[in-house]
Amino acid sequence: MAQTTQNSAPRPLPEDWDRLLAVVAHPDDLEFGASSAIHRWTAQGKDVVELLVTKGEAGIDSMDPGACAPLRMAEQRASAEAVGAATVEFLDFPDGTLEYGLPLRRSLAGAIRRHRPDVIVSINFREHFGGGSFFNHADHRVLGPALLDAVRDAANRWVFTEQLVEGREPWDGVRFVAFGAAPDPTHFVELSEENLAAGIASLDAHEVYLANLDGFDQKTFLREGAVSSGEWAGVPLATSFEVFDT
């Protein structure tokens, strides 16, 4: 699996594909930029499935995880609806303590074999976000390498063979994996005002979660991010990705 050269000029993310699997650790992860691109793609008629590895149950300090999980799942479904993603699925890994290992790889490979995507999108797994000094969430840092490995696992019929008994055939059709909000992006997706508005609406859907973030202005944050990525890409509005070819 080869990473696209980071030092090359920004390139448009290829869009000659039909099926996307968006895989992130938590409700709200996709909404920090990638959801605007998802709206562009669903408007083109592409099939998008959102897969959440956890239910986000540890994401609100003032709320018990047992009450938090169903709330955040409902907010994610509303968020997906805002950008036209018809399918949202949740795995059952623990929020905040995700570990790299065979159970995670197995579940991700199983999802890839089941949905058979052409392209996978996720969130930045590097130690830092672009322009930021805070350390990236442990779950994000774990998920990225596990997801890249699971793409290879899903294609190998001699790995996780029990899934083949269950009727999930190997899938080697993933063309690339794109990670949004990466510090060293390689590709961009140009956004329209409509795409950006839908992306903002998708983040707005996480109403209770956002209410617990002191003073966070999601509309300004997403617009400034889209303008900044657009300046980098040479277009009015964009969102950026670090792309790994498979």
Written as tens digits, the pLDDT of the chain (246 aa) is: 545 444 479 999 999 999 999 999 999 999 999 999 999 999 999 999 999 999 999 999 999 999 999 999 999 999 999 999 989 999 999 999 999 999 999 999 999 999 999 999 999 999 999 877 889 999 999 999 999 999 999 999 999 999 998 888 999 999 999 999 999 999 999 999 999 999 999 999 999 999 998 888 999 999 999 999 999 999 999 999 999 999
What is the four-CA torsion angle of 66, 23, 185, 59, rounded to 10 degrees?
0
Give dist(CA 10, CA 5) in Å, integer. 10
The reported pTM is 0.95
Whole-number pLDDT of residue 134: 87
Alpha carbons within 13 angstroms on the beta-carbon side of residue 101 total: 5
Whole-number pLDDT of residue 4: 45
Give dist(CA 66, CA 89) in Å, integer. 18
In which order are the strands placed within the sheet that holds 47-52? 11-12, 187-190, 238-245, 176-180, 119-123, 19-24, 47-52, 87-90
State the Rg of the chain over Cα.
17
Can you tell me whether residue 178 is helix, strand or coil? Answer: strand
